[in-house]
Structure formats: C-alpha cells, structure tokens
C-alpha cells in the first residue's frame, strides 16, 4: 500500500525518473527534458512537495508551482501530479492530489489550477472528481514535437482559504 509523505531532497532522482516517464508519453507536459535539482527547486513551491512511496520506492509525486511572482496572486498555484506507469490505476494519483489540496490550503493557497492536454482524459476526470471545474480550453496553446496542442484549464477554489 502506498504512503504519502513530504518530499526530501534524496527523493529527487526518483522524481526525475517518473517525470521523464511522463515526458515520454507525450501527453503529460510541454517539457522535453527533466529539470536539474536547482531548476526544479526554484520552480516549485515549498508547500505541497509530496511523494507517494511503496516501501522505499517513490512511485509518484506531486507539487505546486506559483502561477506568477506578482504578490496579488501569491495564493494561486498550478498542480503537478505524476505516477510511475507501473503503479497507475491504484488510486495513487487521487491520494496525491487530495494530499496536495490539503497541503495547499495549509500553505495559504486559495486557488489551484491545472493545465492538462485535452487528450489526457484520465487526469481531467481525476481533477474534476476532486472539485476542479473546467474553465475552458486553450486552443493551440503550444507546440510539442511540431504539433499544436490544446490544453484544458481547470480550477479549484478552496472552501477553507480566501
């Protein structure tokens, strides 16, 4: 059974590996390479860095990224949730996202956003299941490997913060 705990720096190689698996699918991110520790540390918020483990193995992770550095939006973050493909379908993503929501509220965030490729139906359904609402689709938001991709924007407003 998977356990969720706070991220520790030694977890980062496993986080990188799972992120690379997401990149390899072509349906998880516009990124084409994994970030170095320094890049990832700078890009993610301290609140909400989580991993899911089975035994000593990291099988999934989640984090928040502030949507902007403007102080008026200091309580708005984008979610990232990734699960090792060998462990998908076991509720790990749902548990991570639930824990991420709780952690975000503990950290003072009032709005969470998710930007998900429209083809990634499982992730869209998961977010909706946990209270995210479809806000619209960004048509041809960016290109990945020369192909324009549409991105579904979802948002969840806290009932605890704000």
Full set of structural domains in the chain with CATH: 3-113 (3.40.630.30)
Query: What is the value of pTM for the model shown?
Result: 0.92
25 is written with which tokens? 């699918």
Place 162 in a pLDDT band, splitting at 50, 70 and 90.
confident
H helices of the chain, in order, are 12-25, 37-43, 92-106, 121-129
137 is written with which tokens? 């689709």
The C-alpha atoms of residue 59 and residue 143 are separated, in whole angstroms, by 29
Specify whether the backbone of 49 is left (phi greater than 0), alpha (psi in -120 to 50) or beta. Answer: beta
User: pLDDT per residue over 41-99, tens digit each?
Assistant: 999 998 889 999 999 999 999 999 998 777 767 789 999 999 999 999 999 999 999 99
User: To 5 degrees, how large is the angle CA 105–CA 95–CA 49?
Assistant: 55
């Amino acid at each position: 059974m998977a356990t969720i705990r706070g991220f520790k720096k030694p977890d980062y190689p496993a986080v990188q590996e799972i992120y690379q698996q997401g990149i390899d699918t072509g349906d998880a991110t516009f990124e084409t390479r994994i970030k170095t520790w320094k890049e990832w540390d700078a890009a993610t918020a301290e609140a909400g860095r989580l991993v899911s483990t089975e035994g000593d193995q990291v099988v999934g992770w989640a984090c928040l990224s502030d949507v902007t550095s403007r102080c008026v939006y200091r309580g708005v973050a984008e979610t990232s949730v990734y699960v090792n493909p060998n462990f998908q379908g076991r509720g790990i993503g749902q548990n991570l996202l639930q824990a991420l929501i709780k952690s975000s509220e503990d950290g003072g965030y009032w709005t969470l956003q998710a930007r998900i490729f429209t083809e990634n139906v499982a992730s869209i359904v998961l977010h909706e299941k946990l209270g995210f609402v479809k806000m619209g689709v960004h048509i041809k938001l960016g290109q990945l490997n020369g192909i324009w991709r549409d991105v579904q924007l979802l948002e969840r407003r806290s009932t605890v913060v704000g």
